[in-house]
């Protein structure tokens, strides 16, 4: 089954790829690697989750935010590559989680992203991961995720 079919079967639909509002671009390819710009949990043109984990948001909400952010990353990948099926491997995911003082469950939050990647891509979805607690994120986003992909 193609990755796109798998995504549909899981009940997910890609959002429109986020458009940079400045002079950067959604992704840059260098050799076999595709470096994506940081993605936020955008849904229907708005941030689905704002605020900090450990204060305004629960871990469950953070996981959902991470899931939505990853769908935005995949939307960028599809826009760049034509199809998700050209993704050979999800290489690395760096997740920045907006964290109030004392919140240390960043890994749990990012499982929302990691689990979805493995559900869609199987073994090719297993990535190196870094989970960080950010002081602040753009536009009060709950999470921001950096992705590096390897392209077939």
DSSP assignment, residue 122?
G
Confirm or reject binding of residue 106 to a second copy (CB under 8 A): yes
Q: Choose the binding region for a second copy from 1-9, 11-19, 65-73, 138-146 (rule: CB under 8 A).
A: 138-146
Mind giving me the DSSP string for 61-90?
HHHHHHHHHHHHHHHHHHHHHSSGGGEEEE
Distances, alpha carbon 33 to alpha carbons 20, 57, 139, in Å: 20, 34, 28
Confirm or reject binding of residue 33 to a second copy (CB under 8 A): yes
CA dihedral 112, 142, 40, 147 (to 10 degrees): -50
The phi and psi torsions of 142 (rounded to 5 degrees) equal -70, -35
Confirm or reject binding of residue 38 to a second copy (CB under 8 A): yes
Q: Which of 12, 35, 43, 59 binds a second copy (CB under 8 A)?
A: 35
Q: Which of 5, 16, 25, 152 binds a second copy (CB under 8 A)?
A: 25
Confirm or reject binding of residue 5 to a second copy (CB under 8 A): no
- List residues binding a second copy (CB under 8 A): 20-28, 30-33, 35-38, 89-94, 96, 99, 101-107, 110-111, 114-115, 117-118, 125-140, 144, 146, 148, 150
């Amino acid at each position: 089954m193609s990755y796109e079919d798998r995504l549909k079967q899981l009940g997910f639909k890609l959002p429109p790829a986020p458009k940079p509002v400045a002079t950067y671009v959604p992704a840059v390819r260098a050799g076999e690697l595709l470096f994506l710009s940081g993605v936020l949990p955008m849904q229907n043109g708005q941030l689905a989750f704002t605020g900090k984990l450990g204060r305004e948001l629960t871990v469950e909400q953070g996981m959902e935010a991470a899931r939505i952010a990853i769908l935005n990353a995949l939307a960028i990948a599809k826009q760049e590559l034509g199809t998700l099926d050209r993704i050979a491997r999800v290489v690395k995911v760096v997740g920045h989680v907006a964290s109030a003082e004392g919140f240390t469950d960043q890994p749990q939050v990012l499982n929302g992203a990691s689990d979805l990647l493995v559900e869609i891509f199987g073994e090719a979805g297993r990535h190196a991961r870094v989970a960080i607690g950010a002081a602040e994120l753009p536009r009060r986003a709950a999470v921001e995720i950096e992705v590096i992909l390897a392209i077939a």
